[in-house]
Structure 1
Amino acid sequence: MKQFALTIAGVFVGLLLFIIGIPVLLIASAAGSSKPAVPAQAVLELDLRGGLTDQAPTNPFAGFGGSGLSVMRVVDVLAQAQDDDRIKVVLVRLPESGMTPASADELRQAIQRFRASGKPVIAHSQGLMPLGAVVSTYMLGASASEFWMQENASFQATGLASEEIFFGRAFERYGITADFEQRYEYKNAVNTFTQSGFTESHREAAEGWMTSIYESALANAASDRSMELDALRTAFESGPHTPAEAEALGLIDNTGGVHEAEAEARRLAGDNGRIIRFSEYSNAVGERTGSGRNAIAIVGGEGAILTGRSSADPFGAGSMMSSDDIAAAIYDAIENDSVRAIVFRVSSPGGSPEGSEQILDAVRAAKAAGKPVVVSMGAYAASGGYWISSEASAIVAQPSTLTGSIGVFGGKFVLDEALGRFGVDISGLTVGGEYADAFTTERPFNQAERAAFSGWMDQVYEDFVTRVSTGRNLPAARVREIARGRVWTGAQARQLGLVDEVGGIHEAIQRAKALAEIPADESVRFRRYPRPLSTWEALGEAFGSSSEAAETLVRVGAVMDDPDVQAVMARARAERMRSQGAVVMADQPLR
């Protein structure tokens, strides 16, 4: 009966989406498929105010409600723009708040490569507010040929700040017990539930990576603006400033509105200079495929690591790294005879140790097949994100990437007292062994349960240490010394031997070519995995809870002769046959 209700509901919602949503999707698809003309003397306008993901989603629904921009796509398009004679200038619209530090690092490097082609870049800011890692936003602006700020704006970037909300006292007051284990003192993901403030180790680790990010951003800005580091630091930290004051101190180059900055960009482009928006140019040039007889696979994974397959749920929140999908993508790259090496782009704070191990198994398989794997770390590759990277042939990270966090935590919330205050009672039943109800929310772990659970946590931690020791060729004792759950920046990790090189996707590709014995100056093709879902495949995935509903919806779509329909029906049939603890997760980074 339940399955019948799910089927009916799925068919109803699917048909409703088909009637209302499909025309919109088809219009958007048609608009996206028409390639706009690129002006002969063009200004490419890159607006970063809507936010960035690290990678473009494989789910076509995932871009709804966001800017649709990803760091990887921006880097890819700027690489094409620097060799495109039609693109004369790039105009960057900066956000007022902070940016993910490693994303700012990656975009700065892309802008530097664009400028090296002899073309100017103008950055325009409508204010720099003390929100998040605004020092990284400033650093990106400082990488431009000219840094403009609107006259009535405010230069309030003076440092780097972060705060945590701790629930320890509230949980105590309301009768909630956070019964957790962590390995070890720097594994701070659970501290917000168990503490009322920073522990000594939590403060030490946080201040350590914050200082590293701040010093790196200031050093990069000083270098790009040809200023002495101490002079820039003094000017930067003496704020807040008006734009006129910031200009007088050498922190920016010009004051003026957006219209004036655009006019200057058009002037630099030539007499017929015209602005083309980034999305239009991106659609016009498409994805960079490269050329040559050899190929480099680019495998992307972003978000928390989970076991299983991804869902194309149009109402889903956030990106996830599904272990089945990422492992399958790596195996697809292994089976492609033209692929000589794999660049694995990782941007993940961690997640399931079982899912992490499944992905790491695929990395090992690639190396065993003679295809080196180079990890390119994005915003973060910590905890489980480092687990899946640990045995790669080489690791490349941005100086501000958050990585490491070699540790584990797990546990449960005990809610019996809290709910009892509202007249709600918890009463459980158990059949089988004594450990069967260890994770009940009615009571804390008893002595035997805690011993068993603690032993499991120790085993996961030792497994993690072993993988790092093997992959990084470090003694296990040394790994334990630098691990203990501590988060490091990429720059710090490089000094500790956890990372091989500081850089981005460009440097990772060069490292992969070298390991595959492809000459540095030889062109290569790019093969990207996982393959993005088509609209119809995504619709089928979205109704995975009822495969009959998915198949009904796709049958309706079949009248359109879509080439992906049969693939979706195969997925729907396979769905009928599918059956439906500990966490290696790190703190989230500044933005």
Structure 2
Amino acid sequence: MKQFFKFVLASVVGVIISSIILFFLFFILLSGLIVAAGSDKAVDVDANSVLHIKLTYPIAERTPNNPFANLGFLGIDGEKTIGLNDILASIKKAKTDSNIKGIFLDESYMMSGQATTEEIRNALIDFKKSKKFVIAYSEIYTQGFYYLASVADKVYINPKGIFEFRGFSSEITFLKGALDKLGIEAQIIKVGTFKSAVEPLVLTKMSDANRLQVNSYLGSMYDYFLTGIGKSRNINKDSLFNYANSGRIQQPEDALKYKLVDGLKYKDEILSELKQRTGAKEKNDLASVDLSDYVKSSSKTTTDPKEVSSTNRVAIIYASGEIAGGDGDDNSIGSETISKALRKVRLDDKVKAVVLRVNSPGGSSLASDVIWREVMLTKKVKPIIVSMGDVAASGGYYIACAADSIIAEPNTITGSIGIFAVLPNMQKLFNDKLGITFDGVKTGKFADLGDVSRPLSPEERAMLQNSVNRGYDDFTKAVANGRGKTQEYINSIGQGRVWTGSQALKIGLVDRLGNIKDAVQSAAKKANIKDYKIVSYPEQKSFLDKFGQGLSAEVKAHFVKAELGDNYRYYQQIQGVTKMMRTPQARMTYEVVIK
């Protein structure tokens, strides 16, 4: 028996020692991979090269800090995702890069909002001023990619390809039927006739007010879409509308017939044309550089010598994702994180002006108010300009309204000035479906306010309604003060109604239409500086920081996306609905998807 325990003890010690050794070996291997994958070695671009742009991934505001993007490690995306900031910087650099002769827009899906696509499209239009070419090709043209590609000198499609041109649609997932089957009642407290975020919980179809507003802003976006294509392709906007509405574009030949494309070609024919344009021999390989590689060279250089020597700074603070209390990350806005960033740039004497880049459907009304306060304080010290991305609605508009000026894209989704709260009543689920009952004691009449095992009493509902009313009053007052309007006027265009950037300009919710570059220039002008460097906040966490905090959320998101594909947005919508059942919200719960 003594020998048995010796062997057991030796085995246990051996396992522990082996585990320690394996951990250190793993850590050394991980460190080596991070160093190798994260090295930003500049890429040499051959003479007479083509910049190859293929956008088949969701486009965030900033490139994620993920050194394993090209390796596929620990379940994290193996595909390199490039942020809007680096895409725009690369196109700008390519414009003056003597080694780049043109851009090849290869088949892409444009998994981005309309404002993001607009930013890239405008960058391509600016690139063409250099007299360099832009060629677009795809086997399948989604409407989003065609809008981008329509600015190209030549637009080609595979002879057997697919060309989608049918108009815009917006779809909302309604959950009331499912909640009824489960015995769950969504108790709604809200302010705003158009505040439709709660409709999926209490209706089975759109309300008349919501249908009115969606028709309005979707029509505005579609009109801008057709106008842009018409201008690029020299086709009357009304003709484009008729092509889509009558279903005339069904085959690639139809797209060619109606001058939406310039030719039907296979990939080898495209490569041959690119070789001719760059002066390469047919038997030789095409000199090209992928966008992901070109970013490495463009991010480390600047074409403006004034920027190199300047001590002035214009800070861009990226506020992207849903708004919540605490710390955030690349995909969410934490009130504490953004507040710290605003305080940091406010106290930094080198920072002369601030651009707050907002791309958010909103979220917690309390967290939004916390950030709004920091914007107000910053405005008292130095200029702060808001640049709106795909969406800056509800809480996303709340944090923007105090700025000196607001700049939006024509197809930005904004407004949605309203507040709501949702409290589930799960009594039927517990009692009738599961056979669970509850009993207890309390020291005060309202001690168990918010208990989901029973419905709200009339008094409790009135208390919550008063709280939401106060939140809406604070919201409209903040907008009125920030925009120089009366609170009555803001209430008339508020009520939770959603607007596009173009519509918001007409009613005074934004000051001008433009992109993030325009916002930076506006901030610099207001600060009366001509030479400056651009710095970004909040600082992105390193991969080791993320690894130390755990990667479960990123790994989970990766596998869910891989499994659901395009249907991932429905998963996100349901997640958004469940998040509403916590605190008073200033948010939209759905997005406009243009395929």
SS in 1 for 2:480: helix
Structure 1 residue runs of 5 or longer lacking an equivalent are 1-11, 312-317, 546-580
Residues 68, 172 of structure 1: alpha-carbon distance in 2 compared, 3 angstrom cutoff: same
> Which structure 2 residues correspond to residues 421-500 of structure 1 after superposition, within 5 A?
421-427=432-438, 429=440, 431-500=442-511
Distance in 2, Cα, partners of 1:56 & 1:514: 27
Distance in 2, Cα, partners of 1:67 & 1:59: 9
Give the letter aligned to residue 528 of structure 1: S
Contact 1:58–1:530 (8 Å) recurs in 2: no
Q: Name 1:573's counterpart in structure 2.
A: none
- Work out which of the residue numbers 332, 355, 375 in structure 1 matches 2:386: 375
Contact 1:51–1:67 (8 Å) recurs in 2: no
Q: Displacement of 1:16 after TM fit?
A: 8.4
Distance in 1, Cα, partners of 2:547 & 2:267: 40
Distance in 1, Cα, partners of 2:439 & 2:451: 8
CA-to-aligned-CA distance 1:189-209 (integer Å, 9 cap, x gap):
110110011110010111111
Q: Name 2:367's counterpart in structure 1.
A: 355
- Work out which of the residue numbers 492, 498, 506 in structure 1 matches 2:517: 506
Contact 1:58–1:531 (8 Å) recurs in 2: no
- Work out which of the residue numbers 243, 250, 253 in structure 1 matches 2:259: 250
Residues 526, 442 of structure 1: alpha-carbon distance in 2 compared, 3 angstrom cutoff: same
- Work out which of the residue numbers 203, 209, 215 in structure 2 matches 1:207: 215
Q: Name 1:5's counterpart in structure 2.
A: none
Residues 21, 263 of structure 1: alpha-carbon distance in 2 compared, 3 angstrom cutoff: farther
Q: Displacement of 1:21 after TM fit?
A: 7.4
Most deviating of 251-260 and 465-474: 251-260
Residue 60 of structure 2 corresponds to residue 53 of structure 1: yes
Relative to the length of structure 1, the TM-score reads 0.84
Residues 287, 346 of structure 1: alpha-carbon distance in 2 compared, 3 angstrom cutoff: farther
> Which structure 2 residues correspond to residues 306-455 of structure 1 after superposition, within 5 A?
306-310=324-328, 319-369=331-381, 371-427=382-438, 429=440, 431-455=442-466
Q: Displacement of 1:120 after TM fit?
A: 1.4
Most deviating of 524-533 and 24-33: 24-33
Give the letter aligned to residue 228 of structure 1: N
Q: Displacement of 1:35 after TM fit?
A: 2.3
Q: Name 1:40's counterpart in structure 2.
A: 47
Q: Name 2:188's counterpart in structure 1.
A: 180
Distance in 1, Cα, partners of 2:184 & 2:69: 35
Contact 1:43–1:266 (8 Å) recurs in 2: no
Residues 241, 19 of structure 1: alpha-carbon distance in 2 compared, 3 angstrom cutoff: farther
Residues 143, 543 of structure 1: alpha-carbon distance in 2 compared, 3 angstrom cutoff: closer
Give the letter aligned to residue 298 of structure 2: V
Distance in 1, Cα, partners of 2:219 & 2:26: 51
Contact 1:430–1:437 (8 Å) recurs in 2: no
Residue 70 of structure 2 corresponds to residue 92 of structure 1: no
Q: Name 1:195's counterpart in structure 2.
A: 203
Most deviating of 534-543 and 447-456: 534-543
Rg larger in 1 or in 2? 2
CA-to-aligned-CA distance 1:438-494 (integer Å, 9 cap, x gap):
211111210111111000000000010011001011111100000000111111111
Most deviating of 18-27 and 286-295: 18-27
SS in 1 for 2:242: helix
Relative to the length of structure 2, the TM-score reads 0.83
Q: Name 2:232's counterpart in structure 1.
A: 224
Q: Name 2:248's counterpart in structure 1.
A: 239
Residue 317 of structure 2 corresponds to residue 299 of structure 1: yes
Residues 61, 586 of structure 1: alpha-carbon distance in 2 compared, 3 angstrom cutoff: farther
SS in 2 for 1:379: strand
SS in 2 for 1:149: strand
Residue 146 of structure 2 corresponds to residue 128 of structure 1: no
Residues 375, 94 of structure 1: alpha-carbon distance in 2 compared, 3 angstrom cutoff: farther
Q: Displacement of 1:128 after TM fit?
A: 3.0
Q: Matched residues, percent identical?
A: 28
Q: Name 1:9's counterpart in structure 2.
A: none
Q: Displacement of 1:544 after TM fit?
A: 12
Distance in 1, Cα, partners of 2:107 & 2:223: 21
Q: Name 1:262's counterpart in structure 2.
A: 271
Q: Displacement of 1:187 after TM fit?
A: 0.7
Residues 419, 258 of structure 1: alpha-carbon distance in 2 compared, 3 angstrom cutoff: farther
CA-to-aligned-CA distance 1:526-565 (integer Å, 9 cap, x gap):
11111122233323333999xxxxxxxxxxxxxxxxxxxx
Q: Displacement of 1:29 after TM fit?
A: 3.9
Distance in 2, Cα, partners of 1:277 & 1:544: 31
Distance in 2, Cα, partners of 1:458 & 1:411: 14
Residues 535, 49 of structure 1: alpha-carbon distance in 2 compared, 3 angstrom cutoff: closer
Q: Name 1:554's counterpart in structure 2.
A: none
- Work out which of the residue numbers 575, 584, 587 in structure 1 matches 2:586: 584
Q: Name 2:36's counterpart in structure 1.
A: 30
Structure 2 residue runs of 5 or longer lacking an equivalent are 1-17, 71-75, 554-582
Give the letter aligned to residue 256 of structure 2: E
SS in 1 for 2:228: helix
Distance in 2, Cα, partners of 1:177 & 1:76: 50
Most deviating of 474-483 and 119-128: 119-128
RMSD: 2.7
Q: Displacement of 1:231 after TM fit?
A: 2.6
Give the letter aligned to residue 122 of structure 1: I
CA-to-aligned-CA distance 1:302-355 (integer Å, 9 cap, x gap):
1001111136xxxxxx81111111111122222222221111111000011121
Most deviating of 459-468 and 86-95: 86-95
Q: Displacement of 1:232 after TM fit?
A: 2.7
Give the letter aligned to residue 281 of structure 1: Y
Contact 2:37–2:68 (8 Å) recurs in 1: no
Residue-pair matches, total = 530
Contact 2:360–2:391 (8 Å) recurs in 1: yes
Residues 19, 396 of structure 1: alpha-carbon distance in 2 compared, 3 angstrom cutoff: farther
